[in-house]
Structures are given as C-alpha cells and as structure tokens.
Structure 1
Amino acid sequence: MASKVAVVTGANKGIGFAIVRGLCKRFDGVVYLTSRNIERGKNAVADLEKEGLKPNYHQLDITDKDSLEVFRDYIKNKYGGIDVLVNNAAIAFKHNATEPAAVQAKETLFVNYFSLVSTCDILFPILKNGARVINLSSSCGQLGLIPSKELKERLKDEKLTVPELSDLMQQYVDATQQGTQAAAWGNSSYVVSKVGVSALTNIQQRMLESRDIKVNSVHPGYVDTDMTSHKGPLTIDQGAEAPLYLALDAPDSVRGKFVWHTTKIVDWDSEKPL
C-alpha cells in the first residue's frame, strides 16, 4: 500500500508551519512541508525535527506553474497522489503599505486567488478519491463585506463556474486600475481575494463531489503571525486547530463549507458578517 500524503503550501512559518506540526503528530502518512524559498523551508523542517517530528520537504512556489508541475510529477510518481491538500500560501499588504491600490490589487489577487486556481488545476488531478482539501480563507472572506448586491448575487450563484469567477476577480483588478472599484467591491484587495477563495471553494466542491472529495474553506482566526504584524491574540497552533479539524476530524458530511476558527460552520454569504 502506498503511503498517505498530506501537503501544506507556504508552510515554512506561521499557520502553515503549525499545520505541518499538527499533521506530523496525528496524520497516518507522510507530511510535506513546502515553501517557495528552499533555505527557509529546510530550516523549518529542521526546527520540527528538533521536536522529534519527521516532515518531508519539497520546494513549491504556487505562483510558478513549472514549480507546481515538478511537484505534481514527483508526488504522483512516488506516492500516486495526495490525500490531504492544505492551500495555505497567501500574502497581505500592511495597512501602512505605500504601494498604489492598483499594484496591491494585482499582486494580492495574483497570489491569493489566481495562483490558488493554478495550484488546484495542476494538483487536483492527482487528488485521491476521498481526499480532503482545505482552502485557507479569512474572516475577510465573508460575502457580506462586498458592497454591491449584484456582485454578491453573482458570487453566490450555484451555477457560477471557475472561469466566470476568475473573470469577476479580473474585473476587480481592472477596476482598481481605473480607480472605480470602491462602490462595488470596497477598498480591500485582501477582502476581495479571500471572498474569491470562499466562492471558489463552493465551486470546487460541486466539481469534485463525484470523487467523494471534501473541499472546505476556513477562517483560522486572528493569529500572531507576520501577516498580522504579530497583532493577533491567537498562537499559530491555535490558528492551526480548525484547518487540522477539517483535515483529520470533520465528518465526511462537512463539504463545501466555510468554517470558523472555533470549528463551527458559518454562512459565508450572510448579509451580516461575523
């Protein structure tokens, strides 16, 4: 029997690192810590090895299709596929960032949404039947944070496809170039990117239902990481709790859901965000 395989993207620090730690302690199989930067990734593996854990390492840059394809081929040839995929890699500009809104929008959506789509396009074909996919969203991924009623209706449409969603995300990026995004989309590229992740999760669940693959998105909580400028009250291990619940413990009936850091299922498309 081939080993079961769990993969975490962007895992050399923060919540991704803590998810790898938790998987190494409980997952019945091999766990891959992946990162864009090889040195940082291997240092992270060494830190976990000091704790007596045994993660595997492979370089993976979700913004680089060549890197994704090399990783896919490696996993497919060695193990036959993936049992747990945690899409954690993401970026966020700081509140005091000086880059123009158009630059922030383009870069944030490229990494957090479009590169996630590429990752899934390349890795989903090697997901094993019954696999679990966890997309790291955010409290910012709630539909009620989008001002436009028309956009909200489109984003929660049960017939929405990935190309159509990607077109909407590109429309936002284009609107920021013109400075016309605020009325319909609001002023946060991070919000739009994570709403995109939450909407994408729903579409992916419909696409993969026939293979008994469970796809969920999760708000890990406000965690003490570089991304929050270390202002979050939760530890990285607390931030890993809900993703680990979805990876290891959630009943098979939990699919296509938006899960809060408490592991409670909430309505991502509520008019009143939590």
Structure 2
Amino acid sequence: MYRSLQIRSKSVSNLKNKVALVTGGGRGIGAAIARRLASEGAIVAITYGQSQAKADALVAEIERAGGKALAVRADNRDAKALETAVQTVVERHGHIDILVNNAGIYEAAAITDVTADDFDRTVDVNVKAVVLATSAAAKHMPEGGRIISIGSNLAQRVPFPGISLYALSKSALVGFTKAVARDLGPKSITVNIVHPGSTNTDMNPQDGAHADPQRGLMAIPRFNDASEVASLVAWLAGPEGRGVTGAEFTIDGGTNA
C-alpha cells in the first residue's frame, strides 16, 4: 500500500508548480513517478493506453491529497496521439517543465522467432514514441527543464536469452539521451536515463514464477519498490539535479555489478 501523498507538507516542495508529463503513468513505475512528483508539488499529467480506470483512480488520489493531475489517453504507437497529449498539457498549463518517458513494452522471444511486426511494435513504443514525445515537449519547455527516460538494466547486460528486441530498444535510448543532452544543453535542459532492474509491479511481481532467477543475479537479493525508482527520477527532476545531463543511472540491486 502506498503512503498518502502529503502534498501540502512544507518539507516536499522541490517541484512546486512545475508541470510534469509522465507517459504510461497509470500503473507500475509510471504511477509511482507521478505520485512522487505530485508529492513534491508538481502539477502532473499522465498518459495511458488501455488502463483508464487505473489512470482515473490515480488522478483522483492525487487530487484528494491536494494536488493537480490530468489523465490523457494516448496510444504510444500513434504519433498524432502523442503530439495531441503534449498539446493538451500545454493548452491547460502553458508549458511543460518535466517530461518522463516511461511508457514501454516488454516482449520476449528468441531471435529466430522475431518477426517484422514484433520489431515494429517494440521500436515504435520503446524508441519512436520517446523521440516524438521528447521533440514535442522540448518545443514547450522553458530554461531549466528536465527530460528523463526510463530505460532498463538490460540495456547494459543481458543475462538471459530471448531479450534481443527489448535490449535493442532500451540501448537505443542511451545514445538518444546523450545526443539530446547536447541539443538542449544551451537551454539548461537536462536529459538523463534511469535503468531500473527487477521492480515489483503487476507486470513483474516479486513473488512471480520468474522472480527467483532474477534475485539470483542481484548483489542485494530483493526487487526494487517502484517508489525507489521514482525517488531517483524526482531527484533528477529537482533543483539538485540541474548539473547532471547525458547520464545513465542504474538501480538494480547490483545485478549488473
């Protein structure tokens, strides 16, 4: 159970009145990030694909705690929908201070079984959507903005077979992050990537059938809580992260050590 947001607490106002957009923010790590940014005073917008009930519930939770939130339906394979989502936030709040590229998919298959459709689907959601959302949001981002993408520790090390497409897609975000940091550095906009390892969500529960093999790779044998990933994102989004750009941050219990 998540703790209450306590948005009005004077101890958590690092992001007061900052406008944040979190793609895929209706569940899992994305929802934890939205909660954390809201708890630090940000006005939060989230996109969702199918989970409208979860997205609406999260918005209601944030608003009950005294925050401001908005949910926008956007299929990450639909370029126009992504642009519309960004425009919706800008029309309501004037700009975007923080973009968190969180939405993504994971599909496992041996390379001999990968199809062109598999490739297109994975790259469209995990790479193309990040590029398009970043491009659209950066046009409306003031000096000192923040762009943070959620990658994966599997971009750095692949300990199991069947992950070729996913690893490819998340590895692509590393180069993109470093390049965009150069593009946007003159406006003091930072661009970074966070690589979570195994994280306890409904998609990869810590008590699931595949959990023990994952724990066997870790130096600290426990799954991340999604709130821990969110804390790292919030630090990068806040004032103390203003000098960090083009960087990778791995939070995986030492899996890649």
TM-score of the pair, normalised by structure 2: 0.75
Asked whether 1:4 is paired with 2:7, we answer no
Q: Which residue of 1 aligns with 2:45?
A: 32
Check conservation: 1:220, 1:242, Cα contact below 8 A. no
Alignment partner of 1:226 is 2:216: no
Q: How far apart are residue 249 of structure 1 and its match? A: 5.0
Number of residues of Structure 1 aligned to a counterpart in Structure 2? 222
Identity %: 30
TM-superposed deviation, 1:105: 2.7
Cα pair 1:202 1:257 within 8 Å, conserved: yes
**AA paired with 1:104?**
D
Structure 1 pair 240–251 and aligned structure 2 pair: CA distance change class (3 A):
closer
SS in 1 for 2:103: coil
| Separation (CA, whole Å) in 2 of partners of 1:59 and 1:187 | 28
> Partner of 1:11: helix, strand, or coil?
coil
Which residue does 1:80 correspond to in 2?
A: 94
Aligned to 2:10: none
Q: Give the secondary structure class of the aligned counterpart of 2:36.
A: helix
Distance 1:112 1:53, change over 3 A: same
Which amino acid is the alignment partner of residue 188 of structure 1? Answer: S
1:17 corresponding residue in structure 2 = 31
The answer to whether the 8 Å contact 1:132/1:213 transfers is: yes
Q: Following superposition of structure 1 onto structure 2, how do residues 6-155 of structure 1 map, counting pairs within 5 Å? A: 6-27=20-41, 29-37=42-50, 38-49=52-63, 54-94=68-108, 100-102=113-115, 103-142=117-156
Structure 1 residues 140 and 40, CA gap change in structure 2 (3 angstroms): same
- Unpaired runs of at least 5, structure 1: 146-181, 263-272
Runs of 4+ residues deviating >4 angstroms: 47-54
Contact 1:11 / 1:34 at 8 angstroms: preserved in 2?
Answer: yes
Worse overlay, 86-95 or 224-233: 224-233
Query: Could you tell me how far apart the structure 1 residues matched to 2:118 and 2:190 are?
Result: 32
Secondary structure of 1:82 counterpart: coil
* Corresponding position: 1:244 with 2:234: yes
Higher helix share: 1
Distance 1:93 1:51 in 2: 36
Contact 1:91 1:227 in 2 (8 A): no
Which runs of 5 or more structure 2 residues have no equivalent in the other structure? 1-16, 215-222
Note the 1:188-267 alignment, pairs <5 A.
188-230=164-206, 231=211, 233-261=223-251
Cα distance between partner residues in 1 of 2:191 and 2:181? 5
Q: Which moved more, 1:196-205 or 1:239-248?
A: 239-248
The SS at the match of 1:130 is: coil
* 238 and 200 in structure 1: CA distance in 2 versus 1, 3 angstrom threshold: same
